[in-house]
Structure 1
Amino acid sequence: MHIEQYLDATYLKTAEQAKISKKENKAIVEQYIHEAIDYNFKLIMIRPEFVSLAKEMMLNTVSKVCIGTVIDFPKGDKSTAFKLVEAKKAIQDGADDLDFVLDYEAFKRGEIDLVKEQVLACTKLGLEHHKIVKWIIEVAALNNHQIVQLCALIKNVVIAHFKESSYESVFVKSSTGFYETKDGSPNGATIESVKLMLENAFPLPVKAAGGVRNYQEAVAMIKLGVKRIGTSSAKTIVDGNESNSMY
């Protein structure tokens, strides 16, 4: 198993969140990009402001590692128009994958038409530019019934409006890794939540993000059927070690 080709090596902290200077934070981003190139990970996932930096580094090394970024991160509560503007800029800067945070709170409030409009408009933009689109549903903010409903909603929008050949380019993704749970429960992918996603998002692929910290856990997710794993511990996983990272 070439596990590195399932891994989206991820670093999404701001300097403020990491409690370091912007210069130091940029150095960490560069380190993650170098590791992605050295280990031939599927993708490097970074914040939008670093996409052009990653693109330059990939070109300089003639690397085939893809570049991903997050849109309307981490809460997903901005308008569809905001999401589209941010996504267009990421595309211009060289992003290959666009991981949109769905407005899951609007979904929970019953604003279904708004959510459908968001999924349709943003997916259309991504596919028109031949990008991979991922929808982050934030499983830790949802109960099991809501996970099922939201996966089905995304799937149904995609099936209704796009060709079957596009399905493999639209993922449902578990988590941002930044959601704060009140009871200390996992804020990322769990076996239970991923099973629900796989069952109800099909034929769309699933990305398990957050909580995968070692090789065994990564293999278990892949055996369940996920096509991508988002983790800040990609190097640790491939090296066969254990990470204490929360993402």
Structure 2
Amino acid sequence: MDDIRQYLDSTYLKTAAQAGLTDAQNREVVRHVVTEAIEENFKLVMVRPDMVAMACEMVRQAGSPLYVGTVIDFPEGSGGLEAKRAEAAQAIKDGADELDFVVDYTAYKAGNLSKVEEEVGQCTRLALQRGRVIKWIIEVAALTAEEIKGLCGLVRGAVTANADVTDYGSVFIKSSTGFYQADGGKPNGATPESIKIMMECAAPLPVKAAGGVRSYDEAMAMINLGVKRIGTSSAKAIANGRPATEGY
């Protein structure tokens, strides 16, 4: 296989408050994560929207091929279409290469399918028209197996109705935010079971596994299931075969 580093989206999405840091300290953590991603030759670094411009400038100065990605309507996905569009437009302006939107999975679970379809369709068109890669986070830990199947199918249908066949490879379905609070100690991110369902139901769209992938063996298991990207805060540990110390 190719170098595992080219599957890894090195991810840091904590706010300063979540990390127990000052804004300045948290910005320094992001700078470290971006520097590490450049040095390790990862596929992409994933940061919060307010860190995108800084990350892009660091990548530019380094002359690195590293992509910069960010999250949109994160982590709950319930902000509505206009909020998603506005946040995406700003991220594109700031230089983001890839946009990971959170699907309004709460609306989906409530049966408001038209709302979800419209958001996925319109935001997919917006991002593709600007030459960006899009990923739709469905939050598998909030869904039953049947809901994972149904939401993958809805996203797939909305994307294929609003994109050319040649663009399908640029629109992923992604498992998780990594920030969902699952009940009873259950996994809050990708599991082999959820990824198997996604692989069956997402095609022809590629799949990204995120949340809970913390070792080389876990990452390889996901790759062997067919995922094209892995989002993790343990990218360096995974790439070098060491135990992970981070939780996402």
| TM-score normalized with structure 1 length | 0.99
Report the counterpart of residue 221 of structure 2 in structure 1: 220
In the TM superposition, what whole-angstrom CA distance separates every residue of 1:15-64 from its partner, at most 9, and x where no partner exists? 00001111111110000000110011000000000000011101101010
Report the counterpart of residue 6 of structure 2 in structure 1: 5
Query: 1:200 Cα shift?
Result: 0.1
- Could you list the runs of 4 or more consecutive aligned residues of structure 1 that deviate by over 3 angstroms after TM superposition? none
Q: Which amino acid aligns with 2:201?
A: N
Q: Which amino acid aligns with 1:119?
A: V
Distance 1:24 1:68 in 2: 21
Report the counterpart of residue 109 of structure 1 in structure 2: 110
Q: Which amino acid aligns with 1:105?
A: T
Distance 2:142 2:162 in 1: 28
Q: Which amino acid aligns with 1:224?
A: L
Query: 1:245 Cα shift?
Result: 2.6
* Alignment RMSD: 0.7
Pairing 1:125-164 to 2, within 5 Å after superposition: 125-164=126-165
Contact 2:216 2:238 in 1 (8 A): yes
Q: Which runs of 5+ in 2 are unaligned?
A: none
Give 3-state SS (helix, strand or coil) of 2:135's partner: strand
Q: Which amino acid aligns with 2:84?
A: K
Query: 1:244 Cα shift?
Result: 3.9
Report the counterpart of residue 91 of structure 2 in structure 1: 90
Report the counterpart of residue 182 of structure 1 in structure 2: 183
| TM-score normalized with structure 2 length | 0.98
Q: Which amino acid aligns with 1:133?
A: I
Query: 1:246 Cα shift?
Result: 2.4
Q: Determine if the alignment matches structure 1 residue 73 to structure 2 residue 74.
A: yes
Q: Which runs of 5+ in 1 are unaligned?
A: none
Q: Which amino acid aligns with 1:134?
A: K
Q: Which amino acid aligns with 1:21?
A: T
What count of residue pairs does the alignment treat as equivalent? 247
Q: Percent identity?
A: 54
Query: 1:242 Cα shift?
Result: 1.2
